Amino acid sequence: MPIDPTATSLLTIDLGALVANYRTLRDHAGSSECACVVKADAYGTGAKAAVRALLQAGCESYFVATFGEAEIIRTAARDATIYVLDGFFAGSGPAFAEQAIRPVLSSLAEVKDWAAFCREYGSALPAAIHADTGMNRLGLPRREVEQLAGEPDLLASFKLALFMSHLACADEADHPLNETQLTAFEALRAMLPECPASLANSAGIFLGARYHFDLVRAGFALYGGKAIAGREPLNAVVRLDARIVQIHDARSGESVGYGAQQILQRPTRIATISLGYADGILRSLGAREGKNGLTGYIEGHEAPALGRVSMDLITLDVTDVPEGIARRGAWVEIIGEHVSVDDLAQQAGTIGYEVLTSLSRRAQRVTLGPEDK
Ligand SMILES: *Cc1c(COP(=O)(O)O)cnc(C)c1O
């Protein structure tokens, strides 16, 4: 690990692993195109560098949540296809057109706004249509798809580049809603003029070829997340280490941290590391009497959390770690070989998506290029 003497925490992003994961997902998708979902700064890993690496690996289509994110992707990928999942608002059409960014239209009203903009602009610009097949979050409900199907003028005003929907339970392969959504998706698709279709997210890719259609939208699994319970995740992309800023000894019976929630049961050597909830290490990862918190690893030695997670600091029990190893300035692995993003999430009572997207902007970032692998 390259060590900058001023760094207090390091977020290492392995673009080689990202690219390897992309290739694996693309292979799983068979003849379907594998698009990459790079919203939320590529799930916290850094969108620009991620997109550059993915472009080199051959990815041509990207999905983001907002227009601002799309603009950033456009600077890295001049010719790529970019979709904005949250769609567009009336008045923002010129901004989309200028940068050749495609909105994902999620209601009939939005379709009408886009069609009106395209007529005014004088060009049938491409957009995706998102239909709701049972998640009740975004998308045209069935009756709106039917209505749209009956309005050829509206459909002729823009280019229907993609028809898509989103699965609510793809991570549970046996969930009956998957099959229900698939059936609904096929029925809705048949109502509209023929165009490429997309239903699967990362987990959906593993539901089998019937879910792949023309394009799959890979997100979490690209970044090393465990997309489906029971299936091994792909390569880890993210690693997080923090430095020990102080080591000290405390007596049995003393408390540690805010709220004095943990009372030491033995003479304890404590390492305080420079990482906290402001770095995305959730407070639920703290320890108290009767509840374990996160575990850090120092050269492979376990160092369990003691007491609450503070904004910038976490206290670890290093009593059983050899003194020469648990020393001021040493690095402690919080996410890495011993603890995956999903492990940490499970311990925090959340999902890996939240852990990834919460990770610190304060940590110094080390990006391992795909060529370093
Ligand atoms: C976020 C998102 C994805 C990617 O999902 P993952 O589970 O991260 O693979 C795909 N499609 C839509 C509509 C999304 O919002």
Name the β-bridge partners of 242.
Answer: 9, 332
Q: Nearest C-alpha to atom 12 of ligand 1 is from which residue?
A: 166
Q: How many residues does the chain have?
A: 373
Q: Please report how the helices 15-28 and 47-56 are oriented relative to each other, as an axis angle in degrees rounded to 10.
A: 50
Residue 218 in contact with ligand 1 by CB distance below 6 A: yes
Q: Is the pLDDT of residue 248 over 60?
A: yes
Q: Nearest C-alpha to atom 13 of ligand 1 is from which residue?
A: 166
What number of other Cβ atoms are within 10 A of residue 180's Cβ? 14
Print the SS3 string covering 254-271: CEECHHHCEECCCCEEEE
- For residues 174 and 312, what is the distance between their CA atoms, to the nearest angstrom? 42
pLDDT for residue 371: 72
Residues 41-70: what's their mean pLDDT? Answer: 98
Distance 100 CA to ligand 1 centre (A): 22
Q: Which one is predicted more confidently, 15 or 4?
A: 15
Residue 166 in contact with ligand 1 by CB distance below 6 A: yes
pLDDT for residue 370: 85
Q: What percent of the chain has pLDDT over 90?
A: 94
Whether 39 is catalytic: yes
Q: What is the pLDDT of residues 33-55, one digit of tens each?
A: 999 999 999 999 999 999 999 99
Strand intervals (E) in the chain: 9-14, 33-37, 61-64, 81-84, 102-105, 126-130, 159-164, 197-198, 215-218, 238-250, 255-256, 262-263, 268-273, 295-298, 301-306, 314-317, 331-335, 364-368
Q: Please report how the helices 142-149 and 108-121 are oriented relative to each other, as an axis angle in degrees rounded to 10.
A: 30
User: Which pLDDT band, with edges at 50, 70 and 90, does 2 fall under?
Assistant: low
pLDDT for residue 250: 98
For 224, phi then psi, to 5°, come to 90, 10
pLDDT for residue 373: 45
Domains and CATH numbers, the chain: 16-223 (3.20.20.10), 238-339 (2.40.37.10)
Q: What is the pLDDT of residues 151-201, one digit of tens each?
A: 999 999 999 999 999 999 999 999 999 999 999 999 999 999 999 999 999
Ligand 1 pocket test, pick from 24, 28, 36, 37 with the greatest ligand atom count within 8 Å of Cβ, gives 37
Structural contact between residues 17 and 203, judged by C-beta atoms closer than 8 angstroms: no
Q: What is the pLDDT of residues 288-340, one digit of tens each?
A: 989 999 999 999 999 999 999 999 999 999 999 999 999 999 999 999 999 99
The mean of the pLDDT values for the chain is: 96
Residues 134-156: what's their mean pLDDT? Answer: 97
Q: Which of 62, 121, 226, 258 is catalytic?
A: 258
Q: What percent of the chain has pLDDT over 70?
A: 99
- Of the listed ranges 85-94, 241-250, 363-372, the one predicted with least confidence: 363-372
Structural contact between residues 242 and 331, judged by C-beta atoms closer than 8 angstroms: yes
Q: Is the pLDDT of residue 239 over 70?
A: yes
- For residues 89 and 102, what is the distance between their CA atoms, to the nearest angstrom? 12
pLDDT for residue 1: 53
Whether 226 is catalytic: no
> Is this prediction's pTM over 0.85?
yes
Distance 10 CA to ligand 1 centre (A): 27
What number of other Cβ atoms are within 10 A of residue 76's Cβ? 18
- For residues 184 and 179, what is the distance between their CA atoms, to the nearest angstrom? 9
